Chains A and B, each alone.
Chain A
Amino acid sequence: MKTNTPSRVAEKRSDSTASPQPLVSCQNVTRQYTRGKKSVLRQRKATQTVTALDDVSLAIDRGEFVGIAGPSGSGKSTLLHLVAGLDTPTRGLLSIDGTDVTTLSAKQRTRLRLETIGIIFQHFYLLSALSARANVAIPLVERGWSKRKRRERATTLLTTVGLDDRITHKPSELSGGEQQRVAIARALATEPDLLIADEPTGELDTATGGSILDLFEELSTDHAVIMASHDERALARTDRVIRLQDGKLIADA
Chain B
Amino acid sequence: MRSGRRFTAVIQLGIRRVLGRLTITASTRVLLSAAGVALAVMLMTTVSGVALGLATQGTVQSDDVDYWIVPDDNGKSTAALAVGGAQLGDVHSTAAQLQTDERIEFATPVQLRVVNLQNKATGTEEYVLAIGVIPQHESNSIAGLPLRGMTPGDPYYANGSYNGQWTGEAILSDAAAELLGVSRNDELTIRSGGTTRELQALNVSQADLSSGAGPIPVVVLHLSELQAVAGGTDADLADQILVSTDDARLKPHLEQLVPGTTVVSRSGVSSPDLSTSDLSLAVGLTAFVTAIVVGVLFVGTMMGLEVMADRNELAVLAAIGYSSRSRAVLVLTETVTVSLVGGIVGVGLGGLGMVLFNQFATQYFGVESVAAFSPFLLLYGVLVALLIGLIAAPYPILVSQRTSVSEVLG
Residues of A with Cβ closer than 8 Å to B?
77, 81, 84, 86-87, 106-107, 110-111, 113-115, 117-119, 121, 125, 127-130, 134, 138-139, 141-147, 150, 170, 172, 186-187, 190
Contact = CB atoms under 8 A, between A and B. Distances in A.
Interface stretch (B3-11, B258-266, B272-280, B350-358): B3-11
Nearest to B17: A129
19 contacts: A81-B410, A106-B324, A111-B321, A114-B321, A115-B321, A121-B316, A125-B312, A125-B316, A128-B24, A129-B17, A129-B20, A129-B21, A130-B13, A134-B16, A138-B13, A141-B9, A141-B13, A142-B320, A142-B321
Given A77-B410, A141-B9, A142-B6, A128 B320 contact: no
Nearest to A128: B25
Interface string B312-347: 110111111111101000000000000000000000
Contacts, number: 89
Contact of A86 (B16, B313, B319): B319
A144 B3 contact: yes
Given A107-B323, A139-B320, A190-B321, A144 B6 contact: yes
Contact of B321 (A113, A127, A145, A172): A113
A139 B10 CA distance: 11
Given A121-B316, A141-B13, A144-B2, A129 B321 contact: no
B5 A144 contact: yes
Interface of A is mostly: helix
Nearest to A190: B321
B139 interface: no
Nearest to A77: B410
B328 to A, nearest CB: 13
A121 B320 contact: no
A87 B315 CA distance: 13
A138 B9 CA distance: 9
Quick one: which of A77, A127, A141 has the most chain B CB within 10 A? A141
Interface string B1-42: 111011001100100110111001100000000000000000
B406 interface: yes
Contacts of B16: 129-130, 134
Contacts of A134: 16
B313 A125 contact: yes
Given A113-B321, A114-B320, 20 more contacts: A107-B323, A110-B322, A111-B323, A121-B409, A125-B312, A128-B20, A128-B313, A129-B20, A129-B24, A129-B25, A130-B16, A130-B20, A141-B6, A141-B13, A142-B321, A142-B322, A143-B2, A143-B6, A144-B3, A186-B320
Contacts of B313: 125, 127-128
Contact of A139 (B17, B20, B21, B321): B321
A110 B25 contact: no
Contacts of A139: 320-321
B17 A130 contact: yes
Given A127-B313, A129-B20, A130-B16, A138 B410 contact: no
Interface string B167-193: 000000000000000000000000000
A117 B316 CA distance: 13
A110 B24 contact: no
A170 B24 contact: yes
B405 interface: yes
A125 B409 contact: yes
Contacts of A110: 318, 321-324
Interface in B47-104: none
Contacts of B17: 127, 129-130
Given A127-B17, A144-B6, A147-B9, A138 B24 contact: no
Nearest to A189: B320
Contacts of A118: 320
Contacts of A141: 6, 9-10, 13
